[in-house]
Amino acid sequence: MNNKFSSGILITTIISLATIGCSQKSEKPETPEKSSAPTEYPSAEAQTKADTFHINQVPVSTIELGDFPFIQLPKGYHFAHQSTEKFAQMAFWTGDKLEKVEGKLFNGRIDAEENNKQASFLELQRNLESVISNLGGKKITDSKIPTDLTTQLSEKYGVSYVEGLGDIYNHPTQTYVIHQHHRDIWFQITQSGPSAGLLVLETQPVEITAQPLSASQLKAALDQNNKVDIHINFETDKATLLADSQEQITQILDLLKNDDALKLEVNGYTDHSGEAAHNLKLSQARAQTVVKALTDAGIDPARLKAQGFGDTKPVSGNDTEEGKAKNRRVELVKF
């Protein structure tokens, strides 16, 4: 057989087999094409917002509550320590952040009675959870507070409220809220060895009883002591003046306008809550806010100085809210 002829037959055969193979593959059902549209996932910002606690997420309860702090301990347990403050601030753990809340605060440590040999934290926890739920409360979280946040809590609240905080370093914290039309009730329970810490806060506005000093009273105090405390209030942990401070600013303006030679240093102070560096910065910012309010009203900036001292010059103890309130102050000093 001619070699050229044989080669032709061979090539023809290979082409035919390849054609048949392609035909067989094309007979298989085709896989549906995937959609080219990208799958939509919530953005990180949207997810964060969805996970962030807000009080409006809690259903409104209309259940009548008893007397503060609204709960009675189960049999076999008692408060080994308890204290109540008319107005205080506490940061409650919500599972994603520390929520600062102000109002009437109960701070206590719960121990088992001496004859209650079978006591357990779980038993106590389940009892408290049942009581709070029956009052219309909702559990916000049952989780451990991150280490960096427990440090913040300990630094700002640990001295005054160590009993109620419990062992936040080693145990999870349970937080509950009763949301009502006119107030919110916060509960925080944290194990502490065989005991438990309990914090209860009923939100309410502070009662402002302080009155601004008149221009003549400011002058008399400055003439006698060379300095005077003024009634100035700021937003919590901020340098923003509250509206009720405006009258005191007006009286300081009158004082300065009545004596063109008077020069004043505005000194800001804080209590010892929080880090010293933060307190120093906050006190300086608050002093500058007062100076700005005066210069914006027409006082020559050369007659005023702003100085912050943070928590370095307390005039009272920082172990009570009353003492802390005295240490959070603004002074006018002649220079």
* pLDDT tens, position by position, 178-205: 999 999 999 999 999 889 999 999 999 8
Q: State residue 159's pLDDT score.
A: 84
The CATH superfamily of 215-334 is OmpA-like domain (3.30.1330.60)
Q: Which residues pair with 196 in a beta bridge?
A: 110, 191
Q: Is the peptide bond before 29 cis (omega within 30 degrees of 0)?
A: no
State the burial class of residue 175 (Cβ atoms within 10 Å of its Cβ: 0-12, 13-18, 19+). buried
124-148 pLDDT, tens digit each: 999 999 999 999 999 999 999 999 9
For residue 243, give both structure tokens. Answer: 């509206």
> For the chain, which ranges sit under pLDDT 50?
1-50
H helix runs in the chain, sequence order: 3-26, 44-51, 121-134, 147-165, 215-225, 246-258, 276-296, 321-327
Instruction: Give me the long-range contacts of 34-43 (CB less than 8 A, separation at least 24).
Output: none
pLDDT of residue 155: 85
Domain boundaries, the chain: 55-203, 215-334
Provide the whole-model pTM: 0.62
pLDDT of 45: 40
